[in-house]
Structure 1
Amino acid sequence: MVSIVIASHGKLADGIKQSGSMIFGEQEDVQSVTLMPDMGPDDLKKKLLDAIATFSNQDEVLFLVDLWGGTPFNQVNGLFEEHKDKWAIVAGLNLPMLIEAYASRLSMDSAHEIAAHILETAKDGVKVRPESLEPEESKAAPAAAAPKEENGGQPGTFNYVLARIDSRLLHGQVATAWTKTTNPTRIIVVSDAVAKDDLRKKLIQQAAPAGVHAHVVPIDQMIKIAKDDKHFGGQRALLLFETPEDALRAIEGGVPLKELNIGSMAHSEGKVQPNKVLAFSQEDIDTFGKLKDLGVEFDVRKVPTDGKDNMQSILNKAQAELDKKNK
């Protein structure tokens, strides 16, 4: 796996590394190196060398630095000269760049290849609202990003690449980590509540990654689509449900899902929270029991790189906490 050094003035590198971990999960062979006000160039060089020494693969190293020509870049560039056949440097560090680098390591074995690949994502991550402030050439450019209708799936049917329960719906972990690993052409939020909320619908559509269409549909509409999806032949669909109850209703209605990824369920009054990201009411627990009886399997992970948690153990703990709370 290609190793990554994130280098910056001040604590930007530490912060963006933490942000990347929140979205894509903890990563091996990634180090942040910071230039602080009381440090000189030689101090920074030593920190860079110490970071590189921790890597299992020191032949393929990608450096993501904040500013072309700044001290972090200059010190990296001095080390780079002896390794330029394998190492690569990309300046202009931003979070989309880092996330894309993490995703690229899953399929690319060369720092040069990843460096070339992440440039477009880093540039596309810079956007502005209102859209009228965009340069004219930027407004005209996106036509090439349209998804290919024939991408995956059998003719006349959806290919359901992921179905996820997540109270946050379309957010960073979905738009980056899960989209990169499942390669959908459409992200579909299945929710009666969101379908009635024009603001939430608009925000979800704007959060879709480049080249992927985002839709919000009521549950009954998703059931109709699942039963007659010939207009979406070959499309790869990533479905998002806000609650397990919505997922159960869709599956009972005929949406052919055999597995649900369980990402997050927000805490609210009357719920118990057996782990950091999942909170349950009695209705939630009963709903998962009904889903299990239907043969649905559960994949409990925030991001693809996480290990899978045992859903039954989590439900047992939640039930015990609810029973104790209600005594």
Structure 2
Amino acid sequence: MVGIVIASHGDFADGIKMSGSMIFGEQKDVQSVTLQPSMGPDDLKAKLEEAVSSLEDQEQVLFLVDLWGGTPFNQVNGLFEAHKDKWAIVAGLNLPMLIEAYASRLSMNSAQEIAAHIIETAKDGVKVRPESLQPKEAPKASKQAPTGGQPGSLEYVLARVDTRLLHGQVATAWTKTTNPTRIIVVSDNVAKDDLRKQMIMQAAPSGVKAHVIPIKQMIKIAKDDKHFGGQRALLLFETPQDAKKAIDGGVPLKTINVGSMAHSVGKVQPNKVLAFDQNDIDTYKAMEKEGIKFDVRKVPTDSKDNLDAIMKKAQDELNKEK
């Protein structure tokens, strides 16, 4: 796997590394190096050499630095000269760039290939509101949507229960690994809320369309999807009850990714990200009896948890409160 060294003035490298882990999960072979006010160039060079030496693969190293021409860049560039046939440097680091680099390591084995690939994502990550301030871009050639599933049908690449719906972990980590052409929030409540609908549509990653529709509309689409040939759908449900209603209505889902369920009054929280009341537990058990499988992970790189074990702990806590 390509090793990554993040270098910056001050604590920026440490902070963005932490942010990347929150969104994409903990990463191996990633080091952050910071230039502090008390340090000189030689001190920084020594820290960079130490970071590289800690990587498993020192032949393929990608450096992500904050500023072209700054001291971190200059010291990285000095090391780069002896490895410029394999190593790569990208300046202007932002979070979309880092997330794209993490995702690219899953399929690319060359630091220079990843470097060339992540630049467009870094640029696309710079946006402004009001939208009228955004510079006009030249029209891009249209890309044919990825195909999958049976011709003329909609392919379901992921169905996820997540109270937060479309947020960073979904827009980056899950989108990169499942490659949807459409993200569909299936919720009667959100479909009635114009503000939430607008925020969700604006949060869609570049190249992916986001929709918010009621459950009945999703069921209708599932029963007559001949117009969606080649489309890949990532479905987001706010609650397990919404997911079950869609499945019972005919949406052909076999596996549900359980991402996060927020705590609220009347719920117990057996782990950091999942909270249940009795209705939640009963709903998951009912889906389980119908043959639905559950993939309990926040991000693709996490290990899968056992939903039955988590729910048993939640059930015990609910019983104690009675």
Tell me by how many angstroms 1:72 deviates. 0.3
Q: Show the counterpart of 2:41.
A: 41
SS of the residue 1:299 aligns to: strand
Q: Show the counterpart of 1:67.
A: 67
Aligned partner letter, 1:111: A
Aligned partner letter, 2:242: D
In structure 2, C-alpha distance between the alignment counterparts of 1:87 and 1:25, rounded to whole Å: 24
Which of 291, 302, 308 is matched with 2:304 structurally? 308
Q: Which runs of 5+ in 1 are unaligned?
A: none
In structure 2, C-alpha distance between the alignment counterparts of 1:238 and 1:284, rounded to whole Å: 22
Query: When the two structures are superposed, what TM-score results if normalisation uses the length of structure 2?
Result: 0.98
1:215 aligns with 2:211: yes
In structure 2, C-alpha distance between the alignment counterparts of 1:205 and 1:69, rounded to whole Å: 37
In structure 1, C-alpha distance between the alignment counterparts of 2:20 and 2:95, rounded to whole Å: 7
1:174 aligns with 2:160: no
How has the CA–CA distance of structure 1 residues 174 and 147 changed in structure 2, closer, same or farther, with 3 Å as cutoff? farther
How has the CA–CA distance of structure 1 residues 157 and 26 changed in structure 2, closer, same or farther, with 3 Å as cutoff? same
2:146–2:232: 8 Å Cα contact kept in structure 1? no
Aligned partner letter, 1:178: W
In structure 2, C-alpha distance between the alignment counterparts of 1:185 and 1:259, rounded to whole Å: 19
Q: Show the counterpart of 1:270.
A: 266
1:227 aligns with 2:234: no
In structure 1, C-alpha distance between the alignment counterparts of 2:297 and 2:146, rounded to whole Å: 29
1:74-89 pair list within 5 angstroms: 74-89=74-89
1:147–1:185: 8 Å Cα contact kept in structure 2? no
Q: Show the counterpart of 2:30.
A: 30
Aligned partner letter, 1:128: V
Which of 271, 290, 294 is matched with 2:290 structurally? 294
Query: When the two structures are superposed, what TM-score results if normalisation uses the length of structure 1?
Result: 0.97
Aligned partner letter, 2:73: F
Alignment size in residue pairs:
322
Tell me by how many angstroms 1:81 deviates. 0.3
After superposition, give the CA deviation of every residue in 1:240-288 in whole Å (9 maximum; x if it has no partner): 0000000010001110100000000000011000000000011000000
How has the CA–CA distance of structure 1 residues 182 and 150 changed in structure 2, closer, same or farther, with 3 Å as cutoff? closer
Tell me by how many angstroms 1:147 deviates. 5.6
Q: Show the counterpart of 1:99.
A: 99
1:96–1:122: 8 Å Cα contact kept in structure 2? yes
In structure 1, C-alpha distance between the alignment counterparts of 2:191 and 2:69, rounded to whole Å: 48
1:147–1:212: 8 Å Cα contact kept in structure 2? no
More displaced stretch, 15-24 vs 149-158 = 149-158
In structure 2, C-alpha distance between the alignment counterparts of 1:29 and 1:319, rounded to whole Å: 39
In structure 2, C-alpha distance between the alignment counterparts of 1:150 and 1:245, rounded to whole Å: 31
Q: Show the counterpart of 1:200.
A: 196
SS of the residue 1:15 aligns to: helix
In structure 1, C-alpha distance between the alignment counterparts of 2:164 and 2:113, rounded to whole Å: 33
1:238 aligns with 2:239: no
Tell me by how many angstroms 1:148 deviates. 2.8
Report the RMSD for the aligned CA atoms in angstroms: 1.0
Q: Show the counterpart of 2:115.
A: 115
1:255 aligns with 2:251: yes
SS of the residue 2:227 aligns to: helix
SS of the residue 2:211 aligns to: strand
1:177-192 pair list within 5 angstroms: 177-192=173-188
Tell me by how many angstroms 1:155 deviates. 1.6
In structure 1, C-alpha distance between the alignment counterparts of 2:311 and 2:131, rounded to whole Å: 45
SS of the residue 1:20 aligns to: helix
2:9–2:34: 8 Å Cα contact kept in structure 1? yes
1:158 aligns with 2:158: no
Aligned partner letter, 2:88: A
In structure 1, C-alpha distance between the alignment counterparts of 2:278 and 2:143, rounded to whole Å: 41
SS of the residue 2:90 aligns to: strand
1:147–1:211: 8 Å Cα contact kept in structure 2? no
In structure 2, C-alpha distance between the alignment counterparts of 1:304 and 1:135, rounded to whole Å: 34
In structure 1, C-alpha distance between the alignment counterparts of 2:258 and 2:135, rounded to whole Å: 40
After superposition, give the CA deviation of every residue in 1:142-167 in whole Å (9 maximum; x if it has no partner): x44x5634622212211100000000
Percent identity at matched positions?
A: 77
SS of the residue 2:122 aligns to: helix
Q: Runs in 1 of length 4+ with deviation above 3 angstroms?
A: none
Aligned partner letter, 1:196: K
In structure 2, C-alpha distance between the alignment counterparts of 1:153 and 1:212, rounded to whole Å: 18
Q: Which runs of 5+ in 2 are unaligned?
A: none
